[in-house]
Every structure is written in C-alpha cells, then in structure tokens.
C-alpha cells in the first residue's frame, strides 16, 4: 500500500430519506356508495448504513464522496396501498473505523467485525393513511399523516489500523527497513527523518502457512502528545496493536532514555496503551562487535524495563528469532 493510497481520515455529510405521506383517498367505485377511506401508508425513508468490510484496508474509496444520500419513501395511494420504502445507502468501511459526530466530537460507534452494519442516520417513518383514522363518529376522515422528515448529520470517519504488531520508534530508527525485510510491503526508505508519512501494513509469513500483521507507524518525537512532529496524528493507530515493538538504533546515545521517552509519549496520549505487551529490538546491530554488544547488554539488563533483542535488517541478523518471539507473544 503506497502512501498516496492510505487514507485514514474522512469527513462527510450523510442524509437519510423522508418518509412518504399517507394517502387521504376515499374509495370510489360504481355501484358502491360511500366506499369509505382507503388511503394507504407512506413508505419509510432510506437509512444510511455503515458496513464493515474485511477486504478494505483504507478509506480511500470515500475520499471524494463527501455527500451520501438515501432515497425518499414513496407516498401511499388508494386501495390501502403502502408506498415503497426509500433505498438504503450502504457505505463499506474497513474494520477498525471509528465514527464521530463532527459537531460534538462524540464517538457514535466503531466497526470491528466483517459484515457488521450500523445505522448512522435513520430514514423517516411513513405517514399513516386515512383508513387508520375511521371510527364510528368519523366514518369519512379526509386527513392523513405526513411522513417524518429526514435526518442529516456531519460525521468523521477515523481508521485505527488493526495490526498484531506495531513498530514504535524515533524517526530513522529502521522501522520501514524491518517491515520491508519481514513482509512484502514496499515502504519508502531513505536516510533522512520522517521518510514515512503514512502507516504501512505488511503480512509477516510464519511457519506452517501462518502469518500475522505488522504496522509501521510514522516516527514519534519527544513532545508528540502535544502535537509536535507527525506522531500525534498517527498515535491512534497504535491503540489497535496487540504488541508494541520498540525499535531503537544501536548508535543511539542512550537506548534506555530513548525507550523511556517513547513510553512517556504513549502514556501522555493514552495511559491504557501501557497495558499492552512491549518488546524492544536494538536495530542496526551489525555495527556492533561482540564486546560492544556485551557492554550494552549489561546496561539494558540493569535499567531496561522490557525484554530486548539485537537485530539487523540489512544484514538479516536475528530476524528469525524475532519472528519466533513475536509469534510466541501473540499466542501466549
């Protein structure tokens, strides 16, 4: 999935259908005097319905659909004929889509299952025809109910990526390189910061035709929870990851300090994210000899509050062990 095709934030205006008017028709037929009321009911207005679709990974198909309108209900007619219901409008969204009211910013619901359907705005009920209102004291009612008007609402769709493992780290830590080596994803890779501007997803193939999903999240910097850099905008994608895989390069000045800064940014954004399982990999470790690794391990064993592993994406070192570790964590 390329950056240009990844859309995770869409605003739209949704409008349901009006309910049809009830009919106030009076029966007219030869040889039948005073046939009485026979006006039918109006049809229901169409709903706007969001439906989960596991085949979708992004909201790009809705990028330019800013107005969604359902059909109006037809009016009732003679012979107690009920008007046709308005056409419902179905909008397919990827799993993990959060729906908000744009005016109040209140979360309305979230789509998490394939085929799950949720009504965003309901169509108006059809009005009742005049035959409902006949009685012994009013045998010829000449009135019927109007249909209930439509509903309209401004909504915001936010996609929170559903991935088993989320890559967390500072810019240029090697997240995209690791994703490209472990999966068939083709993220942009370069030797400058903020190369990744959109989350990238990849399928990690494991033994016996098993697999799990890994997401490369754009780099987080100190102060991301206050909106600095790109991190704040994409931190919501980490909320849906089962495991947080922290990548810290071997040439970092202080590996423990970088890890603590990243954890603190997650805590300030959403303290619940600290309940997730965490694992640290020291990337670019092909630059280290055995003596340096030993010295770094002593420091990490003493001060790091998480398990860790040395890997090198470029030199293909430790990747099989990493997949084994992640698979074990996902299935324990």
> Is 64 labelled a binding residue?
no
Mutual orientation of helices 255-269 and 231-238 as an angle, nearest 10°? 80
> Is 174 labelled a binding residue?
yes
> Is 234 labelled a binding residue?
no
Of 196, 231, 232, nearest to 216 by C-alpha is 196
> Is 24 labelled a binding residue?
no
> Is 188 labelled a binding residue?
no
> Is 246 labelled a binding residue?
no
- Nearby residues of 137 by Cβ (< 8 Å), 6 or more positions away: none
> Is 286 labelled a binding residue?
yes
> Is 276 labelled a binding residue?
no
Are residues 55 and 161 in contact, defined by beta-carbon separation less than 8 angstroms? no
> Is 77 labelled a binding residue?
no
> Is 169 labelled a binding residue?
yes
> Is 94 labelled a binding residue?
no
> Is 195 labelled a binding residue?
yes
> Is 60 labelled a binding residue?
no
Reported residue count of the chain is: 332
Of 272, 265, 211, nearest to 241 by C-alpha is 272
Provide the 3-class DSSP secondary structure of residue 305.
coil
> Is 133 labelled a binding residue?
no
> Is 197 labelled a binding residue?
yes
C-beta atoms surrounding 214 within 10 Å: 26
Are residues 98 and 158 in contact, defined by beta-carbon separation less than 8 angstroms? yes
Provide the 3-class DSSP secondary structure of residue 46.
coil
> Is 223 labelled a binding residue?
no
> Is 179 labelled a binding residue?
no
> Is 176 labelled a binding residue?
yes
Binding residues for Mg(2+): 176, 196
Q: Residues at the annotated binding site for GTP? A: 169-176, 194-198, 216-219, 283-286, 312-314
Annotated binding site: 169-176, 194-198, 216-219, 283-286, 312-314
């Amino acid at each position: 999935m390329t950056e240009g095709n990844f859309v995770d934030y869409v605003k739209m205006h949704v409008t349901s259908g009006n309910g049809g008017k009830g009919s106030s028709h009076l029966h007219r037929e030869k040889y039948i005097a005073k046939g009485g009321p026979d006006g039918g009911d109006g049809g229901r207005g169409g709903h706007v319905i969001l439906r989960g679709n596991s085949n979708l990974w992004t909201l790009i198909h809705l990028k330019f659909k800013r107005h969604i309108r359902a059909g109006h209900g037809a009016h009732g007619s003679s012979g107690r004929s009920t008007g046709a219901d308005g056409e419902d409008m179905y909008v397919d969204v990827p799993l993990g889509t959060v729906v908000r009211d744009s005016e109040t910013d209140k979360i309305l619901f979230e789509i998490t299952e394939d085929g799950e359907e949720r009504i965003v705005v309901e169509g108006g009920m059809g009005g009742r025809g005049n035959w409902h209102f006949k009685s012994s004291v009013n045998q010829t009612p000449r009135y019927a109910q109007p249909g209930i008007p439509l509903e309209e609402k401004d909504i915001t769709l936010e996609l929170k990526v559903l991935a088993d493992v989320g890559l967390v780290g500072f810019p240029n830590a090697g997240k995209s390189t690791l994703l490209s080596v472990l999966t068939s994803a083709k993220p942009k890779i370069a030797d400058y910061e903020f190369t990744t501007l959109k989350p990238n997803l990849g399928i990690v193939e494991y033994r016996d035709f098993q697999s799990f999903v890994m997401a490369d999240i754009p780099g987080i910097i100190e102060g991301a929870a206050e909106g600095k850099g790109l991190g704040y905008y994409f931190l919501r994608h980490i909320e849906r990851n089962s495991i947080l895989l922290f990548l810290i390069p071997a040439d970092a000045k202080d590996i423990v300090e970088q890890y603590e800064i990243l954890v603190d940014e997650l805590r300030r954004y959403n303290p619940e994210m600290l309940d997730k399982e965490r694992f640290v990999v020291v990337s670019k470790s092909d630059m280290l000899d055995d003596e340096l690794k030993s010295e770094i391990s002593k420091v990490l064993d003493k001060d790091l509050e998480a398990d860790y592993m040395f890997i090198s994406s470029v030199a293909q070192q430790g990747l099989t062990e990493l997949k084994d570790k992640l698979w074990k964590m996902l299935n324990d």
